[in-house]
Homo-oligomer: A and B are copies of this chain.
Amino acid sequence: MTESALTPERILRATEDVLRRYGPAKATVVDVARTLGVSHGSVYRHFSSKAALREAVTERWLDRAHTSLAGIAADAGPADERLHRWLRTLFEAKQHKALDDPELFATYTTLIGQTSEVVERHLETLVEQLTAIIADGVAQGIFAADDPATAARAFFQATSRFHDPCHAAQWSGPRIEEDLEAVWTLLRNGLATR
């Protein structure tokens, strides 16, 4: 590949390939450069360190399939329907990632443990989306919440079982759908105006 054709996007895609092939413990920047047919100096011109490259690739992984969540948060419909859809969309995205390619999921779970700032930022974004939906629900008279941000954080934590990677082994269980709906019902009632 010529130097000018080398974009951050191409480097990130090659990094994913390398991570998938060698695993997070062995994958190096030299492997990424070799895959692209460039020098490792060329890679460093886009990402200043191996850590920076791993952070960027983790962020890309976390945000993938989550763009639709931002759309649901920005929608204008009834907040309870949007909150339900947001939760289901998040769960289904996580479930697909974990079950479709368990090896890559394990790789990213390792990376996530090493890039806590990226993860923090990602989680904050999700809670901000929830805050927007709950605030809309309060404005619509559907939800009661003194502080939508606190309610959003509680809602996110109360649904950990359906999005935190430490629960991934449970996402293929026979009752997982039923469980998700039961938790949703309890939380929706908890937010609803009386």
A85 CB, nearest partner CB in chain B, Å: 19
Determine the main DSSP class of A at the interface with B. Answer: helix
Of A36-44, A74-82, A182-190, the one contacting chain B is: A182-190
| Interface size, chain A (Cβ < 8 Å) | 25
Pairs of residues from A and B, 3 with the lowest C-beta to C-beta distance, nearest first = A190-B190, A166-B166, A154-B182
Which of B157, B166, B186 meets A154, CB within 8 Å?
B186
Whose C-beta in chain B lies nearest to the C-beta of A175? B153
Q: A residues engaging B (CB < 8 A)?
A: 150-151, 153-155, 157-161, 164, 166-167, 179, 182-183, 185-192, 194
Q: In the complex, A160 Cα to B167 Cα: how many Å?
A: 10
- The answer to whether residues A150 and B182 also contact, given A158-B159, A167-B160, A189-B189 and a CB cut-off of 8 A, is yes
- The answer to whether residues A183 and B154 also contact, given A190-B190, A194-B194 and a CB cut-off of 8 A, is yes
Contacts of A188 in B (CB 8 A): 190
Q: In the complex, A46 Cα to B191 Cα: how many Å?
A: 53
A-B contact pairs, 25 of them (CB 8 A): A150-B182, A151-B186, A153-B182, A154-B182, A154-B183, A154-B186, A155-B186, A157-B161, A157-B183, A158-B159, A158-B186, A158-B187, A160-B161, A161-B164, A164-B166, A164-B167, A166-B166, A186-B190, A186-B191, A187-B190, A189-B189, A189-B190, A189-B191, A190-B190, A190-B191
